[in-house]
Amino acid sequence: MVSTVWQDTDAGVLRLPSGRAVRGRGLRRPLPPGPAPDFAVYLLGKEPPEVPWEARWLRWPDFRLPSDRARARELFAEVRERAETERVEVACGGGRGRTGTALACIAVLDGIP
């Protein structure tokens, strides 16, 4: 495990109030330049392709809600915790709807009202 986090200049990075950083991206686009993530959560209706880093899949069909909301909360909390010491990304197909919603939920877990 690499123990460095995202820099503010890395593509797609959201800095949370706690100082943790999470990258959001769309899986239909090429991997952004720079370091690879250490951990990722993929929000898709079907199982994502394998990646060389640790990843979790949350079944979340496009234009719907997560299939298991309790699991979603667990994964969002894990993303928040791991982002303190690891490069963590959250991604869906386009990188806007589900990814943006997940990042907003993680921001709430981080203290944003």
Q: What is the pLDDT along the chain (113 residues), one digit of tens a residue?
A: 444 889 989 999 999 999 999 999 999 999 999 899 999 999 999 999 999 999 999 999 999 999 999 999 999 999 999 999 999 999 999 999 999 999 999 999 999 98
pLDDT at 81: 97
pLDDT at 24: 97
Total tally of structural domains belonging to the chain:
1
What six digits make up the tokens of 43? 């929000």
Residue 84 placed within a domain? yes
Q: Is the dihedral of CA 79, 71, 73, 12 positive or negative?
A: positive
Residue 5 placed within a domain? no
Residue 36 placed within a domain? yes
Residue 57 placed within a domain? yes
CB 86 within 8 A of CB 3: yes
Residue 4 placed within a domain? no
CB 32 within 8 A of CB 25: yes
pLDDT at 4: 80
Residue numbers of the domain that contains 86: 13-109
